[in-house]
Amino acid sequence: MLTIDNLKVALDADAGIVRAIDGLALSIRRGETFALVGESGCGKSMTALALMRLLPENGQVADGHIRLDDTDVLGLPESGMRAVRGGRIGMIFQEPATSLNPVMKVGQQIIEAIEAHTPLRGEAARAKAIDWLRKVGIPEPERRVDDYPFRMSGGQKQRVMIAQALAAEPDFLIADEPTTALDVTIQKQILDLLKDLQREQGMGLLLITHDLAVVSGMAHRVALMYAGQIIEVAEAAEFFSAPRHPYARALLGALPDAQHRGQPLAAIAGTVPPLTGAFAGCRFAARCTHAQPRCEQTAPGLQQHGAAWVRCLRVDELATTSASTASAPVAAAIAVPDATAASGTLLEVQDLNVRFPIRGGWLQRVTGNFQAVQDVSFTVDAGRTLALVGESGCGKTTTGKAIVQLLRRVAQIDGRALLRGRNLFELDGDQLRQARRDIQIIFQDPFASLNPRLRVAQILEEGVQALLPEVTADERRERILRIAEQVGLRRDALERFPHEFSGGQRQRIAIARALAVQPRLIVCDEPTSALDVSVQAQILNLLRELQRELGVSFLFITHNIGVVEYIADEVAVMQAGRIVEHGACEQVLGAPQHAYTRTLLAAVPRLTSVGSV
C-alpha cells in the first residue's frame, strides 16, 4: 500500500545542513501495522511529516520516492495533496495542545475534516463528530462537542485528535505517539478501535511510538531507527524474542518494572549524535558497549540475517550474546553536597477540594461549579515517592497544580497542603517564593510550559536566578551544564530554542528546569510520557539518585504502571475526583481491592502479548 525508497530529508539549520533522514526505505502492506521505534531525535516524526508533505519551512526532500498505491506522493501538486491528507492518509500528531486550533470548538474541527472528505454536511456531519467523540471515550460527547480545547485535559485533547484523524475513515493512518497522553484504559480502548478499523477497512497503520509494550501487542512488523537510518527491521514476535542489533537489546533492557526495583536501569550512555556532519562508521558506535575500531571506520549496510534486516558489522558474532548484557547499567550521578535524607512527613494534604466555576450566557456569568477534586487526603514522606494514578480527567493534574499554587485565580480551593508544617494555601508574596525553592513541578505538556522566546540555557537559569539569588553566575552556569548532561541534552542544545527540539527532547528540558533548583518535593505530571525508553531509564535513574542523595520526594502523576512498579513506594488511585484506593505499591498493584483498580491493571499492555499478533 505504501512504499518509501531511499528517502532523504535535509533541514537548513543554523548549525548547518541537518540530514534528518538518510536513505530510509520501507514498505507497508495493506491492513498491516508497521511500528517505527527509536530514540527521540532519530527521525521518526520527521518521516511522518515527509510522508504528509508537512515538513517545516527549512526542510526539503533531498532524494527518494514515496508511493501510495499507484500515486506518486512527492509528484502531486499541493491542490492534489489536500485530497490525500485526511482523505486517504490521516495523521495523529504527537502534541495535541499545539495541533488543535485554540479558537475553534473541538466539534467544529472534527466537522471540518468530515465535510472536507465525505459527502456529509450540517447536522449529519455534527452527528458523525459526536459519534466519533463517543468512540474515542470522551464523556458526555453531546455537550463536549461544543467545548474549546483549553477546557479539556491532555488525554482528552489527544482523543479529540484521534477522532479528527479517523473521522473521514482514511485508507492509511500515521499515528505519531497516539497514546502518549492517555491512561491505560483509554489507551486500550483506542488501540482496540484502531484494530477494529483495520479489520473493517483494511487500513494500513504506521505506528510511531516509544512504548514497546504497545508495539508488542499491536504491530506486525517493527523498524528501529537511529540517527536518521533504520538499523533493524523484523517481525514483531522475532524483534522482542531475539533482538539482533545491540541498540535493540539495550532498549529492551531499559524497560522499568517491579523486577528492576531498587537497582539502576540499563540506561544507554550519551545521546543521538548530531546529524550535521558525515559519518565514517557505525552511527551507534560511540554508545555501543560492543564497538570495535572497525565499527568507527566502516559504515554498515542493512543486511539480511535470517528473517530480519540489521545494520551492524558484528551481528553474527553477537548472535549468542545475552540481551541482558547488551548495555551495562549506567547509574545517573549528580554532584551534590553530602546530605542525610530527612525523615518524617514532608507534605500532608488534608481534605483538598477544588471547584471550577461554570459560566454561561452572553455575559458569561457563573451558573454553577464543577467539582474536580473532592475530599482528597494523603501524605508524602521525605525521601519517598507517592504515585497518583487514574484515568484522564479524574483530577490528578488538578491536584498537583493546586498543591503548587497554580490555580488560585481560576478555582475555589478548600483544605490544607502542609509543606514542612507550612500551609501553602496561606502563603503569599516572599513566603510563597521561599516555599517554591522546596517544591517544583514538571508539566505534562513541555511545549506549552517552555517560553518560546528564550534559549534553553536561559530557561534553565531563570529558575535558579529567581529562587537562588545567592548562586553566582559561574556556579549557575556549571550547574546548568551538569544537569543538561544528566538528562541527555548536548551542550550545543543550550543555545537553541524550544521549537527546534522534538517532543521528547523538550520534556528533558522541562525536567532539567525543575531539577536545577534542587527542590525537596517535585510534582511530576507525566514526566516520562513523551520520552523513549532509553532516556526514560536515564531520567528514572537520575530521580532515584536525587532521592537517595538529597532525600527529595516525588508526587508522581502517571499512567505508566511499569514506572509505578519501579519507582513508587505508595500508590493512590483516583476516580472522578476521589481517591478510591491507597496503600503500599506492592499491596495496591499486587492485590488490588477496589474494582476500578483491577480494571486499570487489566488494561496495562505487557511485552508478554507478543504472540497475540
For 543-561, write each residue's pLDDT tens digit.
Answer: 888 788 778 899 999 878 8
Residue 423 has a pLDDT of 94
Percent of residues in the chain assigned helix, strand, coil, to nearest 5: 40, 25, 35
Whether residue 609 has pLDDT greater than 50: no
pLDDT, average across residues 40-63: 91
Whether residue 608 has pLDDT greater than 90: no
Which residues have a Cβ under 8 Å from the Cβ of 351 and sit 6 or more positions away? 375, 376, 377, 414, 415, 416
pLDDT, average across residues 190-213: 85
Higher local confidence (pLDDT), 594 or 181: 594
Closest CA to 479 of 462, 498, 496: 462
Rg (alpha carbons) of the chain, rounded to whole number: 24
Residue 338 has a pLDDT of 37
Q: DSSP state, 258?
A: G
Q: Where are the domains of the chain?
A: 100-168, 247-325
Q: 515 with 367: CB under 8 angstroms?
A: no
Which residues have a Cβ under 8 Å from the Cβ of 478 and sit 6 or more positions away? none
Residue 487 has a pLDDT of 79
Which residues have a Cβ under 8 Å from the Cβ of 238 and sit 6 or more positions away? 306, 307, 308
Residue 320 has a pLDDT of 65
Residue 355 has a pLDDT of 94
Mean residue pLDDT across the chain? 87
pTM: 0.74
- The phi, psi pair for 519, rounded to 5°, reads -75, 165
Q: pLDDT digit string (tens) for 69-102?
A: 889 999 999 989 988 998 889 999 877 778 899 9
Q: 308 with 241: CB under 8 angstroms?
A: no
Whether residue 36 has pLDDT greater than 90: yes
Residue 530 has a pLDDT of 66
Q: pLDDT band at residue 223, thresholds of 50, 70 and 90?
A: very high
Q: pLDDT band at residue 528, thresholds of 50, 70 and 90?
A: confident
Closest CA to 456 of 531, 529, 525, 516: 516
Whether residue 328 has pLDDT greater than 50: no
- The phi, psi pair for 475, rounded to 5°, reads -65, -35
CB crowding 213-240: b at 16 or more within 10 Å, else e: bbbbbbbbbbbbbbbbbbbbbbbbbbbb
**Residue given cell 490525500 in the structure block:** 84
Q: For 531-602, where are the E strands, in sequence order?
A: 553-557, 570-575, 578-584
Q: pLDDT digit string (tens) for 460-480?
A: 999 898 888 888 999 999 999
C-alpha cell at 489: 541534552
pLDDT, average across residues 44-70: 92
CA distance 435 to 427: 8
User: HEC string of 124-167?
Assistant: HHHHHHHHHHHHCCCCCHHHHCCCCHHHCCHHHHHHHHHHHHHC
Residue 321 has a pLDDT of 58
* Terminal Cα distance for the chain, rounded: 20
Whether residue 294 has pLDDT greater than 70: yes
**Residue given cell 455534527 in the structure block:** 126
pLDDT, average across residues 498-527: 86
